[in-house]
Amino acid sequence: MSCLSYCPARQVNYNPGEVCRFHNEGYEDYGEIASFYTHPAHRGKGYGGLLLEEALRRLGEMGYRKVFLFVLRENERARRFYAAHGFSWDGTHNDIPFPGGVVCVDLRYVRQLSKG
């Protein structure tokens, strides 16, 4: 159905030589939603929202007050989903080059977690 990974903000590229690099300077005190996938047959049923909110709750319990994630610029459905859950684009992005000159643009979305 759905799968979500969360962690402290990644500061190290664990795949040296790979085209995907993390530029998270200035976000060291953030939690991160590192990956989040929902099977297309299960979208729109509320499972993803429940899973995301649980991960945010747990990140809050870990002491994080701010969280970020990356979402592809072209993924308007996901961008609406994250906005509905309190995230907004902070103006930063990560460009990921692919063969043939294609560049995917990941937008960084951030959210403040409630205190307590």
Q: Cα(64)–Cα(62) distance, rounded to whole angstroms?
A: 6
| pLDDT number for residue 51 | 93
The segment with the largest mean pLDDT, out of 12-21, 36-45, 86-95, is 86-95
In the predicted structure, residue 21 carries a pLDDT above the cut 70: no
Scan for tokens 């990921």, then name that residue.
96
C-beta neighbour count of 111 within 10 angstroms: 21
State the average pLDDT over residues 33-44: 88
CB 2 within 8 A of CB 37: yes
Rounded to the nearest 10°, the torsion over CA 28, 50, 111, 108 is 70
| pLDDT number for residue 27 | 87
Q: Which domain holds residue 10?
A: 2-112
CB 94 within 8 A of CB 22: yes
| pLDDT number for residue 88 | 98
| pLDDT number for residue 53 | 95
Percent of the chain residues topping a pLDDT of 70:
88
- CATH at residue 104: 3.40.630.30
CB 98 within 8 A of CB 18: no
CB 32 within 8 A of CB 67: yes
| Number of domains present in the structure of the chain | 1
**pLDDT 10s digits, 65-99:** 999 999 999 999 999 999 999 999 999 998 888 88
